[in-house]
Amino acid sequence: MNKIIKTNENGNLIVISGPSGTGKDTIIKEVIKQNKNTWISISMTTRAIRKGEKEGKDYFFINEEEFKEKIKNNVFLEYAKYNNNYYGTPKDKINEKLNAGIDVILIIEIEGALKIKELVPDAIFIFILPPNMKELKRRLINRKTEDKEKIVNRFRRAYKEINEVTKYNYVVTNDDIEDAAKKVNAILLSEHCRVDRIEEVYLNNEEEEIHELLVDKNLENKEREI
């Protein structure tokens, strides 16, 4: 059966941000399990690789000199410096995936997200929050990937970053990974149902005739009632 409307079939650009320790990466891994029409853009960073991370899966790990060279060559959609390390989003493959109808997810720092908002204002911005600050502190400590000074710095920065939530379209509190992932996927689904994605409405002659016939019958019935 032919559809009554034609919609924009391109994928959406999804920007995920939130303070360190809110579980952004874990949520999105679950999102990908639930929604096969998504692709995670892998960022580049100059920070040291952490235990359990893999090159080309979690990040592309490069040194600062290489990163700055890529800035000169306009490789990044956006980049930012966070905790004395650079993070950047490579442009390649993003447009390719979007044109193929696949939603592209960027997990990036807030500074970078706000840069993208200027460049791509129709992107979808989702902010991930912890249930409370006490839980955030516990998660940062339990990661055991950084020393006390860096943990304190991340915790302090989190207070400032949470104030940026009003610049996003949606907010999801991560008190349960599976539930948070379902909420993110619900957002992605709803965005594909937006009216402003409609490009054309198709009503052929047969459908118009049926409509007119129904209208006429309704008028006849009303006249009989009178």
Q: What is the pLDDT of residues 175-195, one digit of tens each?
A: 999 999 999 999 999 999 999
CA–CA separation, 225 and 219 (whole Å): 10
Shared domain for 115 and 72, answered yes or no, is: no
185 within a domain of the structure (yes/no): yes
pLDDT of residue 75: 92
Q: What is the pLDDT of residues 24-71, one digit of tens each?
A: 999 999 999 989 999 999 889 999 998 888 898 889 999 999 999 999
Least confident of 4-8, 50-54, 91-95, 157-161: 4-8
Q: What is the pLDDT of residues 109-155, one digit of tens each?
A: 888 899 899 989 999 999 999 988 888 888 888 877 777 787 788 88
202 within a domain of the structure (yes/no): yes
Q: For the domain that residue 34 is a member of, what is the CATH number? A: 3.40.50.300
Kindly tell me if the per-residue pLDDT of 222 is higher than 60. Answer: no
Residue 10 has, within 13 A of its CA and on its CB side, a CA count of 15
> Please, which residues bridge with residue 200 across strands?
6
Kindly tell me if the per-residue pLDDT of 218 is higher than 70. Answer: no
pTM: 0.77
Region 68-81: what's the mean pLDDT? 92
Helix, strand, coil shares of the chain, percent, nearest 5, are 45, 20, 30
Shared domain for 16 and 111, answered yes or no, is: yes
Range of the domain at 154: 5-38+107-224
pLDDT of residue 57: 84
Query: Please, what is the average pLDDT of the chain?
Result: 86
Report yes or no: 16 and 28 within 8 Å, Cβ to Cβ.
Answer: yes
Shared domain for 113 and 196, answered yes or no, is: yes
pLDDT of residue 137: 83
The residues, ordered by sequence, that sit 6+ positions from 123 with a Cβ below 8 Å of its Cβ are 12, 13, 14, 15, 116, 117
Q: Which helix (H) or strand (E) holds 173?
A: strand 170-173
